[in-house]
Chain A
Amino acid sequence: MPRWFYQLASPRWCYQITGKLLPGFAIAALLLIAVGTVWGLAFAPPDYQQGNSFRIIYLHVPTAYMAQSIYMTMAIAGAVGLIWKMKMADMVLKCCAPIGAWLAVLALATGAIWGKPTWGSWWVWDARLTSMLILLFLYLGVIALNSAIESESTAAQATAVLVLVGLVNIPIIKYSVDWWNTLHQPATFKVTEKPAMPVEMWMPLLLMVIGFYAFFAVALMLRLRNEILRRERRAGWVRELLQQQRG
């Protein structure tokens, strides 16, 4: 195991390193999302079939990606927490869940807003929409279980098991389009193929996706720092830190 892996286990080290990383990620997120939004909403060419209503994909696709990626992050954190009993992994797991749940809500909401002019209805029982809804339910279950158990370490372990069980659902989400093949269009980006969109359309989308990853990092670090301070409130270094900030 490399040295940084052990350092990750130390809340103090994590608090310090996230403090240093935070401004960089915040600026990156702000810039990327600002440029992506303006470019996507104002300058990208309108779609030849859907007109301007397609522009919501600049919000919809990143939120949907993030909702899935955050679940993966949670699962990895859960596995690390179960295997190495690492306190930081428990905290990451706990902090990820609300962010992921909100992004899943956003993905569903933007999808509904896009569906109204395009499909003629707010909601369609299509495989992909349904799987995103299930993903939201999984997030809500994770949050509920984590808050129901009082002991922090027990809550983290139980949640980790639940997240890993739910991970079975992620491939179903990813490949449900191919399985059931209904109304929803296939994934926009494929690693193996060139995107079907022109460059000036997918470039802002790419910026938005990267921007949302940076935003997730910022949101996670902010929550994580709070959680570290709350859990380590009796530790010497936290008291010193608070005293420094007061004095």
Chain B
Amino acid sequence: MNNKATNACHLPELKSGEISFQPGRIFWATLVRELNLALRRRSDLINPLVFFLMVATLFPLGVSPEPSVLSTLAPGVVWVAALLATLLSLDSLFRSDFDDGSLEQMLLSPQPLFVVVLGKVLAHWLLTGLPLTLMAPLLAVMLFLPAEGMWGLMLSLLLGTPTLSLIGAIGAALTVGLRKGGVLLSLLVLPLYIPVLIFGTAAVEAAVTGLPLGGFLALLGALLAAGLALSPLAIAAGLRISVSG
């Protein structure tokens, strides 16, 4: 494990006995650390994206190669594939930190766990949700999504995937202590993803049919705002429970 070497280096230096409250610095330190760690295991970064592409390939093979059929399915298929790809990447969110003990150090640190967790989730989104969003047009073309729907797809994914990361991290935090958390994690998280999926695909469909999609994007934004404010609390609570148990 080469994680340990990277743990110490980015935390702000303190004089002995001094405890300073620096949410901004701890957030930045966590984010940089996570991105560094991820860049050293690049294959893990690619996997969700390949999965995303493969799931989308299955639909023309399994349902029908007809453009008319595929173009009606496209918004939902791209969204479901993005959702599953996010789900796949969640299990490793806290796993290596839990295994090598650095998670325990984060819980013990005097800095607010809320901020640490937010940094980790943002890193997760930058490494999965954002690439998925950027890759979505490729899938949209493969599935004959009408060109009018493209912006709706990108915008809805841009607003929706951070919420997926936030909600998913709750499940990851609750199951990190379990040896076989993977399937259980999807069981816990998938029902909670449904509102995001509904509003996400509705936005794309509205864009395709030329209806205003602002309302759906606003709802996705509302879900994101609520997720940003509330889910770090649940994630932090889940991590404390998992580590102490």
Contacts and interface: CB of A to CB of B under 8 A. Distances in A.
Interface of A: 82, 130, 134, 137-138, 140-141, 144-145, 148-149, 151, 153-155, 157-158, 161-162, 164-166, 168-169, 172
Interface string B188-228: 10111011000000000000000000000000000000100
Contacts of B43: none
A164 B175 CA distance: 16
Interface string B170-182: 1000110110000
Contacts of A144: 184, 187-188
27 contacts: A130-B194, A134-B194, A137-B187, A138-B191, A144-B187, A145-B174, A145-B188, A148-B175, A148-B178, A148-B184, A149-B177, A149-B245, A151-B245, A154-B245, A155-B245, A157-B241, A158-B238, A158-B241, A161-B170, A161-B174, A162-B170, A162-B174, A165-B167, A165-B234, A168-B192, A169-B191, A169-B192
Contacts of B242: 154, 158
Given A158-B174, A166-B191, A145 B184 contact: yes
A141 B244 contact: no
Contacts, number: 62
A164 B191 contact: no
- Count chain B CB atoms within 10 A of each CB in A138, A148, A164 and give the residue with the most: A148
Contacts of A166: 191-192
A172 B245 CA distance: 32
B234 A154 contact: no
B145 to A, nearest CB: 22
Nearest to A137: B191
A161 B234 CA distance: 7
Contacts of A149: 177-178, 245
Which residue, of A130, A149, A153, A158, has the highest number of chain B Cβ atoms within 10 A?
A: A158
A45 to B, nearest CB: 39
Interface of B: 167, 170, 174-175, 177-178, 184, 187-188, 190-192, 194-195, 226, 231, 234, 237-238, 241-242, 244-245
A222 to B, nearest CB: 27
Contacts of B192: 165-166, 168-169
Contacts of B178: 148-149
Greatest chain B CB density within 10 A among A134, A144, A145, A155 is at A145
A162 B184 CA distance: 12
Contacts of B190: 137
Contacts of B175: 145, 148
A149 B245 CA distance: 9
A144 B244 CA distance: 20
Contacts of B237: 82, 161
Given A148-B175, A151-B245, A165-B192, 20 more contacts: A137-B187, A137-B191, A145-B184, A148-B184, A149-B245, A153-B245, A154-B241, A154-B245, A158-B242, A158-B245, A161-B170, A161-B174, A161-B234, A161-B237, A162-B170, A165-B231, A165-B234, A168-B192, A169-B191, A172-B195
Contacts of B194: 130, 134
B191 A134 contact: yes
A219 B234 CA distance: 30
Question: 10 closest pairs, A vs B, by CB?
Answer: A154-B245, A137-B191, A141-B188, A157-B241, A158-B174, A134-B191, A151-B245, A141-B187, A158-B241, A161-B237
A151 B187 CA distance: 20
A166 B190 CA distance: 11
Contacts of A138: 191
Contacts of B245: 149, 151, 153-155, 157-158
A162 B187 CA distance: 12
B208 to A, nearest CB: 19
A140 to B, nearest CB: 7
A169 B198 CA distance: 13
A164 to B, nearest CB: 7
B187 A140 contact: yes
Contacts of B184: 144-145, 148
Contacts of A148: 175, 178, 184
A134 B198 CA distance: 13
A166 B194 CA distance: 12
A158 B239 CA distance: 9
